[in-house]
A and B are shown apart, each in its own frame.
Chain A
Amino acid sequence: MSAAVPGFAKILLSGVLPIVAPALLLGLVHGAAWGWAAAALGWLLIVLMQTRRLTVLAAWLDAPDRAGRVPDAGGAWGEVFTRLSRRLHHDARRVEEIEAELQSFREAMDAVPDGLVILDASHQIQWSNRAAGEHLSIRLPRDDGAIIEQLVRLPGFADYLGNPDGQAPFILRSKAARSRVYAIRAVPLGKHKQLLVSLDVTDAHRVEAMRSTFVANVSHELRTPLTVVSGFLEHFTDGGAMSAEQRLYFARIMSDQTRRMLSLVDDLLTLSRLEAEDAPASEEEVEMGPLLAQLLSEAQSLSEGRHGIQVFCHGPALRGNRKELHSAFGNLVSNAIRYTPAGGEIRIEWGTRDRLGVFSVHDSGVGIPAEHLPRLTERFYRVDRGRSRDTGGTGLGLAIVKHILLRHQAALLIESRVGEGSTFRAEFPAWRLPPLA
């Protein structure tokens, strides 16, 4: 109130004194009637002036000057105008600040990779971020105020929303992109509101699916030979009449099947060992000449003279784990032999190209249709199910090759034409080769 007293005094001095003083003077000189008349005229003038200033104030409040200029009004009014204008400016700045904050907050929310939707008590959408638009196809402002169950109509979602306490998140398989999977969780927000959080869990689901198909595949691969063996064993123990020839035939089949199981388990162990460690245990300079000679002799014993096999070695030594490289190259060579009909040609080659170390196996075999190429290194992926098992594959060979090559920072390139043959090429980085002398 202390500020009001000088203000009041100012009003007295500037507003009242100029009228009262002349009126008093006139009254003293010319008589009371003149004095009253002057006073009345003065008051009238003041009232008129105040009314005019009030109009100016009203107009200024409706449309404040952008540049912050205050209408010229002397005396006490001027003070009022200045203060009002200061207050207005201050408020405008606050609003701007808050808007800027809100904007940056919105941008931050839009950058969040999880979908966020705020629902009111009747499940109407109040706000959502950009990711929610992708996950649940909710778009603001179009869907502002829409009831979420009307837009997300998947059976079970409404029930989940009605009673989300302590439940596992709702799993939504998106229809727009049917391969995407989202986990939706409803969190209470304040007293009546709810916050929906949607998370893209497609990858996790894919991994889970891969794991279960892997287990199913392994079980299946082991089961088939086991069924054969157990069937024959039953036949043996039943004591059915059997010629020595039949007995030998059965025994051979059983030993084939057992070998198949063994090689499958071996491959599985190799794969799991390769996966467990990131890098080979030990690396050395592997002389490629002897390694290729070894591959050749193994190939010849597997081929039993049915193929023409050639080996070319015109590259330097390769830095890596000898055992693993042997396993990877051996797998590529044995694949070539198994998928090339008798009389075909197989060429094993080691050399350099563009300073890369290139190991390649070329065959004139059956070839692989292009659509299978990208999935060839998946475990148990088979182009032709019946055929590859007949030839004794485990379905894990190329998966092992891929893993070993990855550990050696090498790339596996496959070129193939149906009926003409395939080329499997492993390219090793330059630093794995000895520096050029």
Chain B
Amino acid sequence: MSSHLSKQFDLELEGVRTRVLQMGGLVERQLMAAIDAFNTGNIEAMQEVVRTDAEVDAYEVGIDEDCTLLIARRQPAACDLRLVMAISRIVTDLERSGDKAAKIANKSRKLHRVSGQRIPRLSDLHHCGSLVAAMLQGALDSLARMDVDAARQVIRADKEIDAAFNSILRQLVTYMMEDPRTISEALDIIWIAKAIERVGDHATNIAENVIYTVSGIDVRHTGSAARKAEKA
């Protein structure tokens, strides 16, 4: 990033960015652990994911305070201000993603406690999970490198997640229609799929904030037409 007259300010700003990315690393691991645990039925791993959620929350509170202090003491301007604003929004997205990971773990625990699976573990769900994990990683990488192209790629990938989610939904509906006894299990799996899909949305938000920080353009809630116009 650009250098300032005040070296201390640079250090503080980079420090906050590092902490956000550390928090992101934690959420990344949570998400992957939750998805793996859903597949393998490892109850211990699920409990670990739920436990670590407190750590993510602690990160959120700490970073939010750092941002407030930074604004109050340094009164950043231009791209620095945008970075601080973006960070405080990204933190929220990360915290929500962490919650989603905990939710996946919780629901999987419930699913595996009930004996006798009627619905096989859908491979689509695992595929969707690894796609979302890759998206989150891409979003955080784009934040680390302030890479607008990488951020755009993340935003584009969200479409794929939505398609995968719909296909999972269709499969589950088929199961439920064939055998009403599968309904409660199917509902839990839908919760899990929805949680995964939401993490994809949060990753998209993070990527949008990266674009905002670098270029000062707010790409939130803009359709593909507006994005095309901005590119031109």
Contact = CB atoms under 8 A, between A and B. Distances in A.
Interface of A: 122, 142-143, 146-147, 149-155, 157-158, 175
A137 to B, nearest CB: 8
7 closest cross-chain pairs (CB), A and B: A153-B25, A150-B144, A150-B21, A155-B26, A149-B18, A153-B21, A151-B144
Contacts of A175: 28, 32, 133, 137
Contacts of B29: 154-155
Contact of A149 (B22, B26, B28, B141): B22
A175 B26 CA distance: 13
A143 B145 contact: yes
B145 A155 contact: no
A149 B25 CA distance: 10
A146 B137 contact: no
Contacts of B11: 122
A155 B18 contact: no
A153 B28 contact: yes
B8 to A, nearest CB: 12
Contact of B22 (A122, A142, A143, A158): A158
Find the residue from A142, A152, A175 having the highest chain B CB count within 10 A: A175
A149 B145 contact: no
Contacts of A122: 11, 14
14 contacts: A142-B145, A143-B145, A146-B144, A147-B14, A147-B18, A149-B21, A150-B18, A153-B22, A153-B28, A154-B29, A155-B22, A155-B25, A175-B32, A175-B133
Contacts of B140: 153
B24 interface: yes
B17 interface: yes
Interface string B1-41: 00000000001001001100110111011001000000000
Nearest to B137: A175
Contacts of A149: 18, 21-22
B91 to A, nearest CB: 14
A320 to B, nearest CB: 44
Contacts of A155: 22, 25-26, 29
Interface in B137-154: 137, 140-141, 143-145
A154 B144 CA distance: 14
B130 to A, nearest CB: 9
Contacts of A158: 18, 22
Interface residues of B, number: 19
A146 B18 CA distance: 10
A150 B137 contact: no
A48 B50 CA distance: 88
A22 B147 CA distance: 77
A142 B141 CA distance: 12
Interface in B167-216: none
A143 B5 CA distance: 23
Nearest to A149: B18
Contacts of B32: 175
Given A150-B18, A152-B25, 20 more contacts: A122-B11, A142-B145, A143-B145, A146-B144, A146-B145, A147-B17, A147-B18, A149-B21, A150-B17, A150-B21, A151-B141, A151-B144, A153-B24, A154-B29, A155-B22, A155-B26, A155-B29, A158-B22, A175-B32, A175-B133
A401 to B, nearest CB: 32
Contacts of B137: 175
Contacts of A157: 25
B205 to A, nearest CB: 18
Contacts of B22: 149, 153, 155, 158
Contacts of B141: 151
A76 B28 CA distance: 74
A150 B17 CA distance: 8
B232 to A, nearest CB: 26
Contacts of B143: 150
Contacts of B21: 149-150, 153
Nearest to B30: A155
A189 B110 CA distance: 51
Nearest to B146: A146
A142 B133 CA distance: 23
Contacts of B28: 153, 175
A154 to B, nearest CB: 6
A150 B18 CA distance: 5
A158 B18 CA distance: 10
A152 B141 CA distance: 9
Contacts of B25: 152-155, 157
A243 B196 CA distance: 61
B51 to A, nearest CB: 13
A392 to B, nearest CB: 31
Nearest to A152: B25
A406 to B, nearest CB: 33
A112 to B, nearest CB: 25
A155 B25 CA distance: 6
Nearest to B143: A150
Find the residue from B21, B26, B140, B141 having the highest chain A CB count within 10 A: B21
A4 to B, nearest CB: 47
B142 to A, nearest CB: 11
A180 to B, nearest CB: 15
A122 B7 CA distance: 12
Contacts of B26: 153, 155
A122 B8 CA distance: 12
Contacts of A151: 141, 144-145
Interface string B92-116: 0000000000000000000000000
Nearest to A176: B137
A158 B144 CA distance: 15
A152 B26 CA distance: 11
Find the residue from A122, A142, A149, A153 having the highest chain B CB count within 10 A: A153
